Structure 1
Amino acid sequence: MKKLLELIGFIALVQGVLGLVHEFTHWHVGLVQRLGFLDGYEVYVSAGLVVLAFALFAAAESRRSG
């Protein structure tokens, strides 16, 4: 379970950072800007993904190995 939480946290962190990079540099990277129903909320969703990633890392750290 710990590895799964870390994996999901890593994916959330990467997508959140890539979404913020897209918003501030207009590079076409990440998944957040490709979802049409998030138009206008990309920065908030990307920041939320970064926060979610840190919460998942904290939850994974509190779990025992195995």
Structure 2
Amino acid sequence: MKTLLGYLGFVLILGGATGLLSDHLGGFRLFGFVRFLVPAGHETVGYAVLMALGVLLAIPAARRG
């Protein structure tokens, strides 16, 4: 379970970070699936929330092992 939370947290953190970079700098999307998780018009807030959720999932995984 801890590895699943760790992997999911890592993917959400990386997806949110690349979404923010892509949103502000333009260019390619490394994790294109995150655009389906964020409502249109609220990309910046949505990607920040994805990063925060990833951190919240990764913290318990790091503490357990």
Matched to 2:28, the amino acid is H
TM-score scaled by length of structure 1: 0.79
Aligned to 1:55: 56
Could you tell me how far 1:57 is from its partner in structure 2?
1.1
Separation in 1 of the partners of 2:10 and 2:62? 13
- In structure 2, stretches of 5+ residues that fail to align are none
Q: Which has the larger radius of gyration?
A: 1
Identity %: 29
Moved over 3 A (4+): none
Q: Report matched runs for 1:37-52 at 5 Å.
A: 38-52=39-53
| Structure 1 residues 1-66: aligned runs within 5 Å | 1-29=1-29, 30-31=31-32, 32-33=34-35, 35=36, 38-63=39-64, 65=65
SS in 2 for 1:40: coil
Q: Take 2:47 and 2:25, find their aligned partners in 1: how far apart are those partners?
A: 14
Q: Could you list the runs of 5+ residues in structure 1 that have no partner in the other structure?
A: none
Question: Normalising to structure 2: TM-score of the pair?
Answer: 0.80
Instruction: Give the Å deviation of 1:62.
Output: 3.3
Aligned length: 63
Secondary structure (helix, strand or coil) at the match of 1:38 reads coil
